[in-house]
Structure 1
């Protein structure tokens, strides 16, 4: 059953929290998203997935809701997170600047990215109002009028290397409190996360492979940003896979490099997780090593939409339990 027949206009937030080693904390943050201020359950909100990585000390909580409910739902989860995660003592391999590190809002069905940008801006204003010491930088459709991408903002802020908050330039809020750090809030077409592990401990080699598949590389994969990290004794190529407006016939090429979907009348494409794994495997083989598989952090865009429709139609708030969650 389509969301239009359900009467729902759906959006999702892939909430990035700088905590993974205390499972009960992560689940408390997820459950907070399901409750209204009066303690009653949000009728049109579901936590679809929790992905937590011990080495990274980072969790991605997929919250789906009607676009009218999503902002308050994510706000509740963030309030819980700021009470539970302290950046002064946080440790992990993955770069981060905030206890709540990223709040990206994505359209799923019946809503455009501009409206998601308005939700993100409203949420950012509420965050700095409700959380003393919370500071926000904006990206994508929330960053008006410049609409700078998350990649641009991260580079400007030194996201990959900096944990000193004193020199940061933020968009909303006061000087970042050391316990809170800096939070990114924005909106864009869906961004998928896909990681491929190579059978090597050589970080330099991993960085070489990540650079080779990056969309900014002339021979790279369109819409893919990639980084290499030590992970569980091997090297993981961590990819953010952006959706982009579909043009021409490139998305139907014979090698099935692209997958497509439509939301609110706009057609988007993205590089398939299978193709990313295949390309990393080819590049690794050229260097005499193998790969050890891939991990999809949550869902593809269509999977997210379909799960959201089902969960909300059936009133399943803790949908992640049906999937078993993914704690690694």
Structure 2
């Protein structure tokens, strides 16, 4: 981030090179049996130009539908508000029956940042939508996940406890049930709604070859994090009568932290304890490509697999080039007078290039007889460097988006005392995120440098200069990221946070400098 450009308006330039501002929203409505109602909800969601329906799922047993819409943030937000109005018109929770917990006709509305938009911006968008839903339809709205103002409400299960009927009784008298927006009384037919911002989630169900719901509930308890199971997994057990099967229904809130295959494996192992086998599984809604790639890599035990080996990915890369190469385009944008992409994005790109050079050295080492003794270790380093490169490429875009959030915060009105306070708070929060992003770059670049030092020692000596060049890039990335952190620290009210960032950057830089000296000695003695 370039602080001295803070007041400058970047205009309509797309942040992070060719990145468009795209948000995804995955509203869950309490209707899964009447197709004409789901059609009406989908039509309302996409009424605004710039919003596209990506997926629709209807589940008669749960009596619930999950619609996925994506596009320009304001278009998606307006479509969601229209769809909630349609749900109020067409869904009556007093007559609703289904397996899935629910508290509202428009039950849950999560916004997910996809590209060119930060989590902070998604939170702000969700708050505006929540407020408008409450004002337009007299529905009590609770903020959850990243948008929650009360820590306990980050957990949707806590917000939805008691469901429509229980909340209807408690909301008038229990202070813990007071909504963030709207009346302290549920809508007679539409109930209450939860709105928030979250990271990508995978809705994943596993069907058991038994109708015994007690088994499904026991497995769900063993799997979910709140009961001591897998991190980032929420799970419930249901009976699906029309299939004569029990179901373990899961939400995977961080598929990188707990991959799909790990959740599936644990369900299978727990089912075996009860003498039950798994019949099948299903994904509800959309799933990130990398989540399925990880499953293929795990179950097929693929060696040195890269997502660039997928034909469609490679075709997309090739067909996306239009005259100017992507590298030339990025450099030209950095050279432009606009403040994004800036030093933070360039730092992340340098680190990604350093990791890529390490991957190349690993590829020139693996599978060769003379390096059999280190094959296993090189393969592990290769995988670590691939993950680091992918993360650093994401940080190129995220750094630009986080900087834009700071610019937007500085444009907030400041005529009244309340407006000034709100503006100061928004700038503080946006700057905090714009500081955390390069700090993450520094951490990842440090890991790249450590991997490259080992690769320089045990890898193919014919590629030693490539490992050394990658190390220099990783070190440059770390230092540049450190500078982007430091430039923001002076203005923070939270001095403890500022000093913690400074200390961590100093420690990362000191350790990295020592590693770089080792690599330099190897290179000079070659």
TM-score by length of 2: 0.49
Q: Cα offset for 1:129?
A: 1.5
CA gap 1:7/1:142 in 2 versus in 1, 3 angstroms = same
Equivalenced residue count is 272
Question: What SS does the corresponding residue of 1:216 show, helix, strand or coil?
Answer: helix
Superposition map of 1:251-270 within 5 A: 269-270=256-257
Q: Cα offset for 1:188?
A: 1.5
Pair 1:299-2:281 in alignment: no
Pair 1:122-2:122 in alignment: no
Q: Cα offset for 1:120?
A: 0.5
Question: What SS does the corresponding residue of 2:225 show, helix, strand or coil?
Answer: coil
CA gap 1:301/1:201 in 2 versus in 1, 3 angstroms = same
Q: Distance in 1 between matches of 2:262 and 2:189?
A: 40
Q: Cα offset for 1:157?
A: 4.7
Q: Distance in 2 between matches of 1:48 and 1:77?
A: 15
Superposition map of 1:135-146 within 5 A: 135-144=140-149, 146=150
Question: What SS does the corresponding residue of 1:288 show, helix, strand or coil?
Answer: coil
Q: Cα offset for 1:278?
A: 2.2
- Residue of structure 1 in register with 2:277 after alignment: 290
Q: Deviations over 1:188-214 (max 9, x none)?
A: 212221010111122221111001111
Higher helix share: 2
Higher strand share: 1
Question: What SS does the corresponding residue of 1:190 show, helix, strand or coil?
Answer: coil
Q: Deviations over 1:262-321 (max 9, x none)?
A: xxxxxxx242323322221122122211111111111223479x9xxx9xx9xxxxxxxx
Pair 1:228-2:234 in alignment: no
Question: What SS does the corresponding residue of 2:205 show, helix, strand or coil?
Answer: strand
Q: Contact (CA 8 Å) 2:106, 2:190: kept in 1 or not?
A: yes
Q: Cα offset for 1:173?
A: 0.8
- Residue of structure 2 in register with 1:110 after alignment: 116
CA gap 1:22/1:204 in 2 versus in 1, 3 angstroms = same
Q: Distance in 2 between matches of 1:98 and 1:67?
A: 24
Pair 1:23-2:35 in alignment: yes
Q: Deviations over 1:151-181 (max 9, x none)?
A: 2x53255245844513122221111122010
Q: Cα offset for 1:69?
A: 2.2
2:211 to 201, 218, 225: 201
Query: Structure 2 stretches of 5 or more lacking a match?
Result: 1-13, 172-176, 292-311, 321-526
Superposition map of 1:1-328 within 5 A: 6-36=18-48, 42=49, 44-131=50-137, 133-144=138-149, 146-151=150-155, 153-155=156-158, 157-159=160-162, 162-163=165-166, 165-168=168-171, 169=177, 170-174=179-183, 175-218=185-228, 220-231=229-240, 232-243=243-254, 269-302=256-289
Q: Cα offset for 1:31?
A: 1.2
State which structure, 1 or 2, has the greater radius of gyration over its C-alpha atoms. 2
TM-score by length of 1: 0.76
Q: Aligned-pair RMSD on alpha carbons?
A: 2.5
Q: Distance in 2 between matches of 1:184 and 1:150?
A: 11
Q: Distance in 2 between matches of 1:301 and 1:21?
A: 27
